[in-house]
Structure 1
Amino acid sequence: MGMLRIMSRRGDDRIMWDPKKVEANDPEALAAVHEAERIFEEARVRGATAFKVVESGPVERIDKFDHTAEQIVLVPRVVGG
């Protein structure tokens, strides 16, 4: 399963999709990927940082949405003062 996790004050929100169903052009899976990509792009414009997480490897910072990723974590810009 692919997953986009969006960190927030409430914890994290998740959008999940099945990559095999995406390849098969399943409408629900495609809709989930499009929604995840829209959220990813909006968050990046606002300064969020994105990381691709894989079970057996290092975390990788990414700038473009990857629907084949196991998990993408979006961390909003931290504002202090």
Structure 2
Amino acid sequence: MGILRVLSKRGDDNLIWDEKKLQENDSEALAAVHEAERIFQKERARGSMAFRVQTGQPPQRIDQFDTTAEQIVMVPRVYGG
């Protein structure tokens, strides 16, 4: 299972896809991945940073959507003053 987590002032929004079903060209899994990619690109365009999170490994910053990631966490740009 893959998860896209988008952090926001509401907490975090999640979108989940099943990688095994994706490899089988399951229509629901394909739709979930297309939506996750759309959200990923939208958030990156807004300045959010993306991190690939894998069990037992430190988070890794990524610039491209990765369907094989356990989790992708999108962190919005922080504005200070």
Query: TM exceeds 0.5?
Result: yes
Separation (CA, whole Å) in 2 of partners of 1:17 and 1:43: 18
Separation (CA, whole Å) in 2 of partners of 1:34 and 1:68: 14
Question: How far 1:6 sits from its partner (Å)?
Answer: 0.1
Q: 2:8 — aligned with what?
A: 8
Q: 1:49 — aligned with what?
A: 49
CA RMSD between the two structures: 0.5
Question: How far 1:28 sits from its partner (Å)?
Answer: 0.4
Write out the 4+ residue segments of structure 1 that deviate beyond 6 Å after TM superposition: none
Q: 2:27 — aligned with what?
A: 27
Say yes or no: does 1:65 pair with 2:62. Answer: no
Could you state the TM-score of these two structures normalised by the residue count of structure 2? 0.98
Question: How far 1:26 sits from its partner (Å)?
Answer: 0.4
Question: How far 1:58 sits from its partner (Å)?
Answer: 1.2
Separation (CA, whole Å) in 2 of partners of 1:72 and 1:14: 10
Instruction: Give deviations 1:3-25, integer Å, cap 9, x for gaps.
Output: 00000000000000000000000
Question: How far 1:2 sits from its partner (Å)?
Answer: 0.2
Q: Paired residues, what number?
A: 81
Question: How far 1:56 sits from its partner (Å)?
Answer: 1.3
Secondary structure of the residue aligned to 1:66 is: coil
